[in-house]
């Protein structure tokens, strides 16, 4: 294995990383660093979170800085404030012996005037969230004409958060001859498009297998009745006395509810979700990083960019809709060669989703039964006994207190003393569990029976659609007449709502994207506001229609009418025309006729594919 010196890392950087404890390059560093220092082509790096990506792009980026120029030369885009600050902290540590290099984080939720003043003083490396960077560009507070290196860090996370349009806008301001680096755990289609449109013959480096889960993570699932998920969660946590982990929920309301119940039941837990202010988020994360919390209950969006060491467990209280998101969740444990566990608590209707995730990450999940009270009590007592056995005794300090204590307990035998000591904990557990409700493990046999006996009709699509029409607790369901076939995804919905609503932010929950329509949850009391705000709004030439979901309507049939198909055709044509406009804005040579010809060619290809399938 090569050393950092053999990879071409400069002496001042070597000195800094040696003091940080870096000894041998990690696989992604060994592949990427020499390429960035010696090759002209761009780089796509695919590796899981926690594999050393920051040093892989950070060290060569710092080495390329010209300290005589006091303008931004390197631009690093991160999806969240937390990751932005973490990246900036790492780069600052690497540049410890480069006093003339100035690094600045710019992000929302902080005073923009302060950031503008710092930019005026001169910085060479800017680590930014896309939204705040666009604000600074619009205010003409930053110039990107000297930028020679652009890094898209956690690119798939930025896609999930709806930043693709922002990235496209930012890249239009950056010189065309810059070196570009794209780092991502996965490679969805939209990220591949960015690589195709903006990168120069990119070299792809993959550490492990695409979408593969970390080899150090063991995957477990428990299948229970939906109404008993919280009881199962408590039992699982009680069976893990030294757990330090994150519990992931799909919606803000569920995350807050689970956290509140855990706190009420005496657990060291707290919630992290989008309804918290930045100050509240920072306070929660400070407690969690300092281990004053054992459990953090979070939504995927709120937890993006969090970098916390030594997590023992990740618990999926709700399975995500996107398989890649599960991979991101589980990748937060089992880092740096350590062992981690990812747990999923599911009900019978989620079994098919679990199978999809297994196939996607290339790992089998081990099925386990929810621990019984007897198992929990035994595990807790052994943990307590182990802690007593391994406690460090300060002989000198405790010596003066021992005589009166030994005298008081002298009438007890060793066995009686141990019994009484352990009973201090045992009685609490026994009293709690003696009247606790039974948690039923749903067996494979019962799961099949719930779906209907052999030979009976399976659930019809209309029935499945009916399930989708029901919002989760605390939410209302809204129908909109666009779906995946129209190029409509979660970021599209978020952007439409943000652009058309004003005042208090809309609380979104579950989003179900079908081919020709979508259903999504908004907090109770806000559905009418969303429907009214988006009335007659436009999505690539298609007029939107929204209504509060009716459990008795067959939206699948209603949304596949000929009218929708015609609108879809018009919208695809409009997308080609928009591509023409965007290409011209960037100085491209595509003509409107080229775009319309491309539309007709795409139409012909689809017709040929359809004919071939028939």
The 3-class SS string of 363-390 reads: CCCEECCCCCHHHHHHHHHHHHHHHHHH
Mean predicted confidence (pLDDT) in 103-110: 88
Which three-class secondary structure state does DSSP give residue 500? helix
- Please give the helix or strand (H or E) that residue 575 lies within, else none: helix 562-585
DSSP symbol at 322:
S
Instruction: Please give, one letter per residue, the 3-state secondary structure of 200-258.
Output: CCCEEEECCCCCCCCCCEEEEEEEECHHHHHHHHHHHHHCCCCCCEEEEECCHHHHHHH
Rounded to whole angstroms, how far apart are CA atoms 591 and 597? Answer: 10
> Tokens standing for 438?
């039974």
The C-alpha atoms of residue 125 and residue 145 are separated, in whole angstroms, by: 13
The label of the residue with tokens 């007890």 reads: 412
- What is the percent of the chain where pLDDT is above 70? 82
Distance in angstroms (rounded) separating the CA atoms of residues 486 and 115: 39
pLDDT at 245: 93
Question: Contact, 124 vs 73, CB < 8 A?
Answer: yes
Q: What would you measure as the largest C-alpha separation in the chain, in angstroms? A: 99
Q: Is 149 helix (H, G, I), strand (E, B) or coil?
A: strand
Backbone φ, ψ for residue 359 (5° rounding) = -65, -40
Cβ contacts of 577 within 8 Å, gap of 6 or more? 592, 595, 596
Q: Which of 222-231, 246-255, 477-486, 601-610 has the lowest mean pLDDT?
A: 601-610
pLDDT band, residue 613 (cuts 50/70/90): very low
pLDDT at 306 over 80: no
Chain-wide mean pLDDT for the chain? 80
CB contact set of 428 (below 8 Å; sequence gap of 6+): none
Report the alpha-carbon distance of residue 126 to residue 101 in Å, rounded.
11
Tokens of 108: 């929302």
What residue has token string 């029409």?
469
Complete DSSP assignment for 577-604: HHHHHHHHHTT----HHHHHHHHHHHHH
Report the C-alpha dihedral over residues 82, 86, 89, 94, rounded to 10 degrees. -160
Give me the residue label for tokens 């004003």: 502
When pLDDT is averaged across residues 146-173 and rounded to a whole number, the result is 84
What is the pTM (predicted TM-score) of this model?
A: 0.53
Strand partners, 149: 74, 179
For domain 461-560, say whether CATH 3.30.70.260 is its number.
Answer: no
Q: Please check whether the two domains, 4-206 and 217-373, share a CATH topology.
A: yes
Query: What is the mean predicted confidence (pLDDT) over 565-580?
Result: 48
Alpha-carbon separation of residue 345 from 230, 368, 388, 470, 489 (angstroms)? 9, 10, 32, 21, 27
Q: Determine which of 83-92, 210-219, 488-497, 521-530 has the lowest per-residue pLDDT on average.
A: 210-219
Q: In the CATH scheme, what is the code of domain 217-373?
A: 3.40.50.300
Q: Per residue in 222-258, pLDDT tens?
A: 999 888 899 999 999 999 888 999 999 988 889 999 9
For residue 553, give the H/E element and its range: none
Residues 285, 288, 293, 294, CA torsion sign: positive
> In this structure, is the dihedral angle defined by the CA atoms of residues 53, 58, 64 and 69, taken in order, positive or negative?
positive
How confident is the model over 108-148, as pLDDT tens digits? 878 899 999 999 999 999 999 999 999 999 999 999 999 99
Cβ atoms within 10 Å of 336's Cβ, excluding its own: 11
CA 421 vs CA 103, 188, 415, 416, 417: distances in Å:
55, 56, 10, 9, 6
232-to-59, 223, 317 alpha-carbon distances in Å? 46, 9, 10
Cα separation of 155 and 189, whole Å? Answer: 12
Residues with Cβ within 8 Å of 432's Cβ and at least 6 positions away in sequence, in order, are: none
| Domain regions of the chain by residue span | 4-206, 217-373, 461-560, 563-613
Cβ atoms of 215 and 51 closer than 8 Å? no
Q: For residue 588, what pLDDT band results from cuts at 50, 70 and 90?
A: low
β-bridge partners, 604: none
CB 241 within 8 A of CB 383: yes
Asked whether the predicted pLDDT for residue 491 surpasses 70, the reply is yes
Half-sphere exposure of 169 (CA within 13 A, CB side): 13
* Third-level CATH fold of 4-206: Rossmann fold (3.40.50)
Predicted pLDDT of residue 560 = 56
What's the CA gap between 44 and 78, in Å, rounded? 16
Report whether 156 contacts 188 (CB < 8 A). Answer: yes
Length of the chain: 614
Q: Which three-class secondary structure string do you get for 84-119? A: HHHHHHHHHHHCCCCCCCCEEEECCCCCHHHHHHHH
Residue 585 neighbours by CB under 8 Å, 6+ apart: 172
pLDDT score at 208:
56
582 pLDDT more than 80: no
175, 145 in Cβ contact below 8 A? Answer: yes
pLDDT band at 336 (very low <50, low <70, confident <90, very high): low
Cα separation, 294 vs 9, in Å, equals 39
Instruction: Give the chain's radius of gyration (CA, Å).
Output: 28
Among 500, 502, 518, 498, CA closest to 510: 518
Query: Strands (DSSP E) along 363-471, which ranges?
Result: 366-367
Is the pLDDT score of 39 beyond 70?
Answer: yes
CA 516 to CA 514: how far, in whole Å?
6
Looking at per-residue pLDDT, the higher value among 261 and 474 belongs to 261
End-to-end CA distance of the chain: 54
63 has a pLDDT exceeding 50: yes
Q: Is 429 exposed, middle or buried (0-12, 13-18, 19+ CB in 10 A)?
A: middle
């Amino acid at each position: 294995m090569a050393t950092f010196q053999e990879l071409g890392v400069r002496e001042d950087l070597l000195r800094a990383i040696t003091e940080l404890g870096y000894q041998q390059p990690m696989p992604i560093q060994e592949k990427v660093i020499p390429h960035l220092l010696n090759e002209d082509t761009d780089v796509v790096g695919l590796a899981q979170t926690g594999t050393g990506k920051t040093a892989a792009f950070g060290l060569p980026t710092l080495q390329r800085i010209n300290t005589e120029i006091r303008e931004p030369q390197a631009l690093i885009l991160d999806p969240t404030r937390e990751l932005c600050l973490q990246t900036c902290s790492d780069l600052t540590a690497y540049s410890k012996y480069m006093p003339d290099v100035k690094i600045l984080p710019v992000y929302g939720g902080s005073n923009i005037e302060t950031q503008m003043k710092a930019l005026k003083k001169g910085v060479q490396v800017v680590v930014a969230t896309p939204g705040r960077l666009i604000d600074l560009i619009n205010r003409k507070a930053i110039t990107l004409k000297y930028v020679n290196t652009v890094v898209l860090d956690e690119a798939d996370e930025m896609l999930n958060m709806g930043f693709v349009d922002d990235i496209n806008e930012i890249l239009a301001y950056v010189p065309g001859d810059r070196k570009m680096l794209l780092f991502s755990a996965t490679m969805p289609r939209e990220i591949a498009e960015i690589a195709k449109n903006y990168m120069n013959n990119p070299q792809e480096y993959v550490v492990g297998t695409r979408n593969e889960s970390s080899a150090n993570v063991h995957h477990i699932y428990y299948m229970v009745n939906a109404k008993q998920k919280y009881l199962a969660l408590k039992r699982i946590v009680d069976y893990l006395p030294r757990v330090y982990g994150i519990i992931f929920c799909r919606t803000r309301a569920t995350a807050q509810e689970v956290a509140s119940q855990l706190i009420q039941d005496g657990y060291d837990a707290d919630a992290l979700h989008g309804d918290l202010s930045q100050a509240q988020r920072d306070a929660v994360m400070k407690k969690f990083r300092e281990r004053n919390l054992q459990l953090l209950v979070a939504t995927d969006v709120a937890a993006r960019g969090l970098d916390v060491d030594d997590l023992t467990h990740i618990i999926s209280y709700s399975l995500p809709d996107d398989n890649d998101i599960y991979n991101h969740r589980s990748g937060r444990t089992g880092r740096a060669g350590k062992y981690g566990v990812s747990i999923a608590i599911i009900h019978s209707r989620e079994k098919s989703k679990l199978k999809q995730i297994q196939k996607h990450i290339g790992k089998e999940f081990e099925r386990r039964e929810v621990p019984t009270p007897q198992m929990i009590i035994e595990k807790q007592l052994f943990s307590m006994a182990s802690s007593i056995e391994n406690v460090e005794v300060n002989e000198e300090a405790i010596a003066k207190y021992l005589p009166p204590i030994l005298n008081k307990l002298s009438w007890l035998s060793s066995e009686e003393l141990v019994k009484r000591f352990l009973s201090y904990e045992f009685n609490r557990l026994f009293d709690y569990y003696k009247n606790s409700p039974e948690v039923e493990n749903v067996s494979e046999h019962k799961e099949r029976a719930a779906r209907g006996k052999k030979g009976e009709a399976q659930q019809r699509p209309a029935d499945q659609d009916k399930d989708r029409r029901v919002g989760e607790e605390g939410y209302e369901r809204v129908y909109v007449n666009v779906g995946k076939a129209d190029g409509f995804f979660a970021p599209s919905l978020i952007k439409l709502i943000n652009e058309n609503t004003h005042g208090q932010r809309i609380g979104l929950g579950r989003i179900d994207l079908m081919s020709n329509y979508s259903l999504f949850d908004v907090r109770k009391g806000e559905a009418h506001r969303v429907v009214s705000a988006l009335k007659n709004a436009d999505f690539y030439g298609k007029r939107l229609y929204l209504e509060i979901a009716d459990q008795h309507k067959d939206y699948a049939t209603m949304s596949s009418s000929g009218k929708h198909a015609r609108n879809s055709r018009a919208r695809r044509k409009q997308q080609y025309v928009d591509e023409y406009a965007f290409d011209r804005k960037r100085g491209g040579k595509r003509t409107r006729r080229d775009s319309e010809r491309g539309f007709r060619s795409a139409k012909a290809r689809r017709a040929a594919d359809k004919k071939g399938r028939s």
